[in-house]
Amino acid sequence: MNYKLIAFDMDDTLLNGQGKMSKENHDALDDLVSQGVQIVLCSGRPTSVLLGNARALLGEKQGEYIISFNGGVVCSVATGEELVRIPMLPEGGKIVLEAARKKGVLVQAYLGSDFYVEIDDPRAQKYSQGLSMAYSVVNDLMTIINQGSLKLLLNGPREKLLEIEKELTPLAPGNFTMAFSKPEYLEFVHPQVHKGTGIEALARILGLSVDQTIGVGDSYNDIEMLRTAGLGIAVANAKPEVKEVADIVLDSSNEESIVLEIRRRFFDSQEV
- Do the Cβ atoms of 247 and 3 come closer than 8 Å? no
Residues of the chain with pLDDT under 70: 60-63, 269-272
Pairing of the two strands 73-76 and 5-8: unpaired
Q: Which residues pair with 233 in a beta bridge?
A: 216, 248
Separation of alpha carbons 21 and 4, rounded Å: 22
Cα 234 to chain centroid, rounded:
14
So what's the pLDDT on residue 269? 66
Separation of alpha carbons 144 and 9, rounded Å: 27
Cα 68 to chain centroid, rounded:
6
pLDDT digits (tens, 9 = 90+) for 154-163: 999 999 999 9
So what's the pLDDT on residue 57? 83
Report all structural domains of the chain as residue ranges with CATH numbers, in order of start. 5-85+193-266 (3.40.50.1000), 90-189 (3.30.1240.10)
Sheet containing strand 152-155, strands side by side: 135-137, 114-117, 106-111, 152-155, 185-189, 177-182
So what's the pLDDT on residue 1? 78
Separation of alpha carbons 22 and 256, rounded Å: 8
Its pTM stands at 0.94
So what's the pLDDT on residue 270? 58
143-182: b (≥16 Cβ within 10 Å) or e: ebbeeebbbbbbbbeeebbeebbeebeeebeebbbbbbbb
pLDDT digits (tens, 9 = 90+) for 94-150: 999 999 999 999 999 999 999 999 999 999 999 999 999 999 999 999 999 999 999
- Do the Cβ atoms of 195 and 222 come closer than 8 Å? yes
